[in-house]
Amino acid sequence: MACIPRKPFLAGALREDLTAWCAKECVAKFRANQILDWIYRHDVIAPAEMKNLPLPLRNALATDFFAPGGVIADAVKSSDGTEKLLIELHDGESIEMVLIPGKEDRLTFCLSTQVGCPVGCRFCASGKNGLVRNLSSGEIIEEFLLGTQRAERHPDNVVFMGIGEGLLNFHELSKALFVLTSPEYIGMSPRRITVSTSGYVPGMLKFAELEKEYTLAISLHAADDETRAKIIPGDLRYPIAEIMAAADRYLEKAGRIFTLEYTLLAGVNDSRDAALKLARLARTHHAKVNLIPYNATDSQFKRPSRQAIAEFGKIVSDGGAHVTLRTERGSDGDAACGQLRAKSKHLPH
Ligand code: SAH
Ligand code: SF4
């Protein structure tokens, strides 16, 4: 295997990183400001495009940093405008991000946090072959910037609902969240950034301690532990009571209500009793419920009928919970997380 050079990523670089680098290169400090400006005001990460830098400095940047480390290797656009990008990373691994247009010209980016996922939910393509590695904060920011270059604009919202369990990569994810929200860097409102978790309790507790108004979504999929065990394997699955206690801690620290995500699987978690239990849980914790119609991968599960989904939603809503149904986006483009990557793995390189 080729030896991979360990270099920092220019995307996600902080002021102090670039000031130190400029000192090492014996160039004036204002160069650091110029580089920061290119990255965070112009979404440029290729030194060759940083026109106001002297050529030797551009070359030195390109040598010392991944700038960028990844490339868009494939793009699949669905009829509804959703575009999924397959990003090939510097070591040949790949991740996905999705650009999702919404009402009134809104745009959401769905980002990945890991290559693969160790949780291995049985319906999800991302977890099929376990975890390959974590993304660094620089790679996460680079993913964001590859998206802004593609869309030629910044998104209104970011959701960490791509490949991986972000709270298992807390250190790098929290650094990326800092860069995304700091006014000195990308400057998004934390409220416009959603972190989705399968309920990894230690990560949820650390997330609460950030005391920032990031949005939290919890992929619950079942309101009782027995049903949940049919969907999520044992190793990284926490008891629902512990997950809800950690979520309450977030509510207290961040001052935000959270969402319970529920992927509907026919005959597994879509009964009337399951809907009543979910309504009760949501009501008790002041949580919203987001129902997700299962997007078929080659797993053992089936999506319930349209009518069954509507009935389930009505029971939860009549039970006193605020319910939304995720509109299906990009179903003709391998929309569910990990599907494009899983497919690319089967392609000859
Ligand atoms: N690991 C985190 C975030 C990434 S998955 C988590 O599990 O929350 C983001 C969301 O996509 C989760 O709610 C997950 O349940 C959902 N998802 C994954 N594969 C899916 C599929 N095939 N159909 C429908 N939803 C899916
Ligand atoms: Fe991982 Fe989320 Fe997929 Fe589960 S649903 S395997 S936690 S990415």
- pLDDT tens digits for 142-168? 999 999 999 999 999 999 999 999 999
Protein residue whose Cα sits closest to atom 12 of ligand 1: 219
Is the minimum distance from the CB of 114 to ligand 2 under 6 angstroms?
no
Give yes or no for residue 292 CB within 6 A of ligand 1: yes
Q: Identity (one letter) of the amino acid at 174?
A: S
> Which atom from ligand 2 is nearest to the alpha carbon of 118?
1
So which residues are the catalytic ones?
96, 337
Residue 330 has pLDDT above 80, yes or no: no
pLDDT, one tens digit per residue, over 8-55 is 999 999 999 999 999 999 999 999 999 999 999 999 999 999 999 999
Q: What's the 149 CA to ligand 2 centre distance in angstroms?
A: 27
Q: For the chain, what is the HEC assignment?
A: CCCCCCCCECCCCCHHHHHHHHHHCCCCCHHHHHHHHHHHHHCCCCHHHCCCCCHHHHHHHHHHCECCCCEEEEEEECCCCCEEEEEECCCCCEEEEEEEECHHHCEEEECCCEEECCCCCCCCHHHCCCEEEECCHHHHHHHHHHHHHHHCCCCCEEEECCCCCHHHHHHHHHHHHHHHHCCCCCCCCHHHEEEEECCCHHHHHHHHHCCCCCEEEEECCCCCHHHHHHHCCCCCCCCHHHHHHHHHHHHHHHCCCCEEEEEECCCCCCCHHHHHHHHHHHHHCCCEEEEEECCCCCCCCCCCCHHHHHHHHHHHHHCCCEEEECCCCCHHHCCCCCHHHHHHCCCCC
State mean pLDDT over 336-343. Answer: 59
The pLDDT-based confidence of 1 (bands split at 50, 70, 90) is very low
Nearest to 262 by CA among 241, 246, 277, 284: 277
Which amino acid, one-letter code, is at 333?
Answer: G
Query: What is the identity of the amino acid at 218?
Result: I
Closest ligand 1 atom to 299 CA: 22
68-87 per-position pLDDT tens digit: 999 999 999 999 899 999 99
Q: How far is the CA of 1 from the centre of ligand 1 (A)?
A: 32
Give the rounded percent of residues in the chain with a pLDDT score beyond 70.
Answer: 92
Residue 300: what pLDDT?
Answer: 87
Q: How far apart are CA 216 and CA 212, in angstroms?
A: 11
How many residues belong to the chain?
349
The answer to whether the bond into 68 is cis (omega within 30° of 0) is: yes
Work out the angle at residue 162's Cα, subtended by the Cα atoms of residues 184 and 16, and round it to the nearest 5 degrees: 25
- Judged against a pLDDT cut of 70, whether residue 196 lies above it is answered with yes
Indicate the pTM of the whole model: 0.94
> What separation in Å is there between the alpha carbon of 112 and the centre of ligand 2?
11
CA of 197 to the centre of ligand 1 (A): 9
Residue 267 has pLDDT above 80, yes or no: yes
Q: What is the mean pLDDT of the chain?
A: 93
Confidence of residue 349 (pLDDT cuts 50, 70, 90): very low
In angstroms, what is the span from residue 285 Cα to ligand 1's centroid? 22
173-189 pLDDT per residue, tens: 999 999 999 999 999 99
Residue with tokens 């490339």: 71
pLDDT digits (tens, 9 = 90+) for 277-321: 999 999 999 999 999 999 988 778 999 999 999 999 999 999 999
The residue whose CA is least distant from atom 19 of ligand 1 is 124
Strand partners, 291: 262, 325
* Residue among 268, 292, 324 whose CB has most ligand 1 atoms within 8 A, to mutate: 292
198 lines ligand 2 (CB under 6 A): yes
Between these two residues, 230 and 332, which has the higher pLDDT value?
Answer: 230
Domain ranges of the chain: 15-64, 71-345
Ligand nearest to the CA of 194: 1
- Write the Ramachandran bin of 334: left for phi over 0, alpha for psi from -120 to 50, otherwise beta: left
Pocket of ligand 1 contains residue 197 by CB under 6 Å? yes
CATH of domain 71-345: 3.20.20.70
CB 128 within 8 A of CB 338: yes
Nearest C-alpha neighbor of 291 from the set 305, 312, 272:
312
| Top mutation candidate among 97, 112, 165, 237 for ligand 2, by most atoms within 8 Å of CB | 165
Query: How far is 144 from 138, CA to CA, in rounded Å?
Result: 10
Q: Taking CA 332 as the corner, what is the angle to CA 349 and CA 275, rounded to the nearest 5 degrees? A: 120
Q: Is the CB of 260 under 6 A from ligand 1?
A: no
The half-sphere exposure of 23 on its side-chain side, counting CA atoms within 13 A, is 6
Q: Is the pLDDT of residue 343 over 80?
A: no
CATH 3.30.70.2190 for the 15-64 domain, yes or no: no
The percentage of the chain sitting over the pLDDT mark of 90, rounded to a whole number, equals 88
Backbone angles phi, psi at 251, to 5 degrees: -55, -40
**Atom 9 in ligand 1: residue holding the nearest Cα:** 161
Residue nearest to atom 8 of ligand 1 (CA): 197
Cα of 15 vs centre of ligand 2, distance in Å, is: 34
